[in-house]
Chain A
């Protein structure tokens, strides 16, 4: 779900940087208003490293395999730190593996980071009144699946709208449909894994679910 370099026009990639910088600034501004903003940095950094590694786990889905995105879970656990954490992860992936891109860092940040913040909001809404295992699992499923679903939708829109003028109309529609259908199992999978993880963390370290 990473847009590579070379596909999008400069106007779109630059807009991606502007929007991404704006969201990151807002998140950092809110973080700096905390009593000791440095206190949460090691927790956010090490959890980001753990997410970076967890996203490398491949789950067999014959004939291929899928890897977890986990942006919803990241949002649930890191809250406002999720957006900068995703930007850092994307930067590492671009530098270390050539996955994603340098010019598309901003747009990829919006595609994956925006839904992570939404997941944090969805999860906090789901657990507002009662905190129990079932509600945590449902809120976790909704947060995990909605984040990936929104990311897939944004990714498909960015790719297809920017390639549409160069493709035949029938191919354009098929490509959009195929991209969305291909991500449907991932939406369910992410929701299930997020629900299981937050249920486990809710039982063992509930304070971690504050975001």
Chain B
């Protein structure tokens, strides 16, 4: 969904190496926030980065739906089963001061880090991000695997859809936990794995023919301007300041 976001915003054009390092610094400083009073500073920063990213609010809203399912349970548990003095009682549910405090902190930290990551990666192709990781010193085994995975995940997704369609046409229906259902799922997974294995052999031979493993003289190195470096120093300084505020 974030692929639709324009890559011309200030944040999208920022050198991806600085962007990844700054994102990690900010994410860890957000996760270190332990006082309610610091939340407004965190949200203020988020607004600044949202303005710099040019990501439409509607897209952000849609992207937040799925991850919200995971955190909702934790927030509810903290809210209604927290320790401390009772603030409010609704039927059999009680909200305590400490529970409310903790739930607010967890929710603020979770959504802030999630939104921040979306804003930072919006408009940056995945392959650029992987190249930046490589430039930051990530071992070649990991970056090569990530590049190939990014390249072939769509191809294999199509294979999986075809497999599912074929099984459906032959009358297979995934219903409950019957042995037939499990066998069907296992067969689908096994076939997908075998197809990917066969394809990987062809991919490897093709890559060797194109000089895989030799020095790469075709890909231009990533370059950054002094202004981008200065912006990075400022953002890391802000992250440290936020971590100090706690």
Contacts and interface: CB of A to CB of B under 8 A. Distances in A.
A binds B: yes
Contacts of A159: 74
Interface in A154-211: 159, 163, 165-168, 171, 175, 185, 189, 192-193, 196-197, 200-201, 204-205, 208
Given A45-B145, A45-B149, A49-B156, A54 B189 contact: yes
Contacts of A37: 141
A125 interface: no
A167 B74 CA distance: 11
Contacts of A4: 67, 70-71, 74, 110
A68 B121 CA distance: 27
Interface string B177-189: 1000111011111
Given A6-B31, A166-B78, A201 B157 contact: no
A166 B70 contact: no
Given A5-B31, A7-B110, A84-B145, A53 B200 contact: no
Nearest to B99: A166
A5 B204 contact: no
Interface string B188-232: 111011111101110110010000110000000000000000000
Interface in B94-132: 98-99, 102, 105-114, 117-118, 121, 126, 129
A202 B241 CA distance: 56
Contacts of A59: 174, 177, 181, 185
Contact of A6 (B110, B194, B197): B110
Nearest to A169: B83
B245 interface: no
B81 interface: yes
**Chain B contact residues: helix, strand, loop or mixed:** helix
Interface residues of A, number: 74
Interface stretch (B6-14, B21-29, B44-52): B21-29
Nearest to A62: B176
Contacts of B201: 42-43
B175 interface: yes
A95 to B, nearest CB: 6
Given A167-B83, A189-B182, A193-B189, A92 B149 contact: yes
A94 interface: yes
Contacts of A53: 153, 156-157, 160, 192
B240 interface: no
Interface residues of B, number: 79
Contacts of B63: 98
A38 interface: yes
Contacts, number: 224
Contact of A42 (B30, B98, B182, B204): B204
B80 to A, nearest CB: 9
Given A45-B148, A59-B174, A171-B81, A193 B185 contact: yes
Contacts of A189: 177, 182
A84 B113 contact: no
Contact of B200 (A42, A57, A60, A165): A42
A36 to B, nearest CB: 8
A192 B182 contact: yes
B133 to A, nearest CB: 9
Given A95-B121, A193-B186, A168 B81 contact: yes
B233 interface: no
Closest 6 CB pairs of A and B: A6-B109, A196-B186, A6-B110, A45-B148, A98-B67, A171-B81
15 contacts: A6-B31, A10-B28, A38-B144, A39-B204, A43-B197, A45-B148, A46-B196, A88-B142, A98-B67, A102-B23, A103-B113, A165-B83, A166-B82, A196-B182, A197-B190
Given A68-B185, A193-B186, A205-B194, 10 more contacts: A6-B112, A38-B212, A41-B204, A45-B148, A68-B189, A166-B98, A196-B182, A196-B186, A197-B189, A208-B194
